[in-house]
Amino acid sequence: MNSYKNDVKEDQGGPVMGQVSNSSPPYKHKAPEVLARSAVPFSERFPIPQDQVGPQHFTKLKLLGKGAVGKTYLVALKGTDKLYAMKVLTKEEMIVKNKVKRVLTEREILATVNHPFIVTMYASFQTEKRLYFITEYCAGGEFFAVLQRQPKKRLKEEAAKFYAAEVLLALEYLHHMGFIYRDLKPENILMRGDGHLALTDFDLSKQAQAVSPRVVSHQMSLLEKIRNNFQGKNVDPSQKLDIVDSEPVLSYATNSFVGTEEYVAPEVVRGVGHSSSVDWWTLGILIYEMIFGSTPFKGSFSDETFSNIIANGVKFPEDVVVSPECKSLIKKLLKRDPERRLGHENGASDIKRHPWFSNINFALIRNERPPIIPSIPDPRDLSLYASLNVEDDDDDVDTLSDWSSNDPSNPFINFNCYRDEKQLGHHY
């Protein structure tokens, strides 16, 4: 539930600158004993020493979102002008709902990744009763809310292409690192204050075996051959070599039913086992939703939606004019047979070469101005927020205990990790 709203299905198989007040709420409770931590070294972006980070150092300003197993808050680091998002999970709930492996997978991903279009984690720690993630605060909020505010909930094609390119780069990176995302949807995409996007919420992601990119011979199209002959060009054979992605490989078949109803791939619905190709299906659904304002297979009820996913081809509304290249890409991504789906063989490399993306400079897109720059009120103005409930105040209060995080019986014993500042070379 790292996004600010979460409604994923269950797995059935298995900041902004300015001074913030440093006054603390008038708690009578003792500060919670921090039992384990993971943090990047002391830095300007997260100015607190690794051996001191804990919930008592943060002031909750606003509840950003509440999911099935946790809450995410906008918090201020006391004594500084720094704002972060703090995700809080209760250990008991994670154990009862059999989600221990999921939260450890999410911690593993957030502790590993370093990418401009993936949310940055600064620290993770645990007390006797709770688990905490401290991540960057994406002031633009959920991309879902951004789409809902557009006329007819639609983006212009070029705007959708820009955001699709950023998401594609994030998925490409995750696959390169050996992770299958499995839950792409607008609610799991955040918009930073500058308008760029960041993927979040990795509790449904799957660890696979990363495979190194390959060098392959690029077959020139007939049009390329005619153009070169007409221009009298002798093409160097070395210029026909491409570096292409290799998709991550699962060491075993997974039949887990995971994802969000309108986004799940046909192979997930059928329960026949799925691979990294599910991410390219969901990319096709996302592009469709951005442009047409709805998902292509939505039915009146769940079974109808699943039936449409399995049996129906994609149809395009006649009242929205889009390019043939756009329709072509969507159709190729929404192939029901995952082995025929674009991206199955060479991953993001094949998708980036599709003609729809011909005017996108993937290498420089992070430096381009996004189509939408969010209008952001001063997050330090507490009059904007409703008062937090008592249970929200209680979330970061634990009684002191002699319990140790290194106790072998602690299922979250590996929750703590260490990230070197060098791993966070970007600053978005």
Chain segment 299-328, per-residue pLDDT in tens: 999 999 999 999 999 999 999 999 999 999
| Residue 123 and residue 145 in one domain | no
| Residue 348 and residue 398 in one domain | no
Model confidence at 211, in pLDDT bands (50, 70, 90)? low
Q: Are residues 3 and 201 in contact, defined by beta-carbon separation less than 8 angstroms?
A: yes
| Residue 263 and residue 193 in one domain | yes
Does residue 29 form part of some domain?
no
Q: Give me the mean pLDDT over the 38-60 stretch.
A: 77
Q: What pLDDT was estimated at residue 65? A: 85
Helix (H, G, I), strand (E, B) or coil at 217: strand
- Helices 157-177 and 277-292, packing angle to 10 deg: 160
| Residue 63 and residue 101 in one domain | yes
Does residue 14 form part of some domain?
no
CA distances from 150 to 7, 155, 179, 245, 291 (A): 22, 7, 32, 35, 11
Domain boundary pick from 367, 391, 410: 367
Q: What pLDDT was estimated at residue 215? A: 52
Per-residue tokens: 338: 């995952």
| Residue 134 and residue 164 in one domain | no
| Residue 279 and residue 335 in one domain | yes
pLDDT by residue (tens digit) across 56-85?
Answer: 889 999 888 887 778 999 999 998 889 999
Model confidence at 203, in pLDDT bands (50, 70, 90)? confident
Residue 358 pLDDT greater than 80, yes or no: yes
A 10 A CB-CB count for 126 gives 25
| Residue 199 and residue 345 in one domain | yes
Does residue 221 form part of some domain?
no
More confident residue, 203 or 23: 203
Q: Are residues 4 and 141 in contact, defined by beta-carbon separation less than 8 angstroms?
A: yes
| Residue 297 and residue 268 in one domain | yes
**Is pTM beyond 0.85 here?**
no
| Residue 176 and residue 190 in one domain | yes
Does residue 406 form part of some domain?
yes
Rounded to whole angstroms, how far apart are CA atoms 415 and 125? 7
Average per-residue pLDDT for the chain = 80
Domain boundary pick from 323, 347, 367: 367
Residues forming the active site = 183
pLDDT by residue (tens digit) across 255-306?
Answer: 566 678 999 999 988 887 778 899 999 999 999 999 999 999 999 999 999 9
pLDDT by residue (tens digit) across 14-35?
Answer: 333 334 444 434 434 455 666 6
Does residue 150 form part of some domain?
yes
What range does the domain containing 98 cover? 36-139+376-424
Does residue 278 form part of some domain?
yes
Per-residue tokens: 223: 């049009």
Q: How many structural domains are present in the chain?
A: 2
Does residue 24 form part of some domain?
no
| Residue 273 and residue 147 in one domain | yes
| Residue 315 and residue 399 in one domain | no
Q: What pLDDT was estimated at residue 10? A: 42
Does residue 224 form part of some domain?
no
| Residue 115 and residue 148 in one domain | no
Rounded to whole angstroms, how far apart are CA atoms 79 and 409? 37
Model confidence at 8, in pLDDT bands (50, 70, 90)? very low
Angle, CA of 368, 374 and 378, to the nearest 5°: 125
Domain boundary pick from 350, 367, 384: 367
pLDDT by residue (tens digit) across 103-133?
Answer: 999 999 999 899 999 999 998 888 888 999 9
CATH number of the domain that 102 lies in?
3.30.200.20
CATH number of the domain that 179 lies in?
1.10.510.10
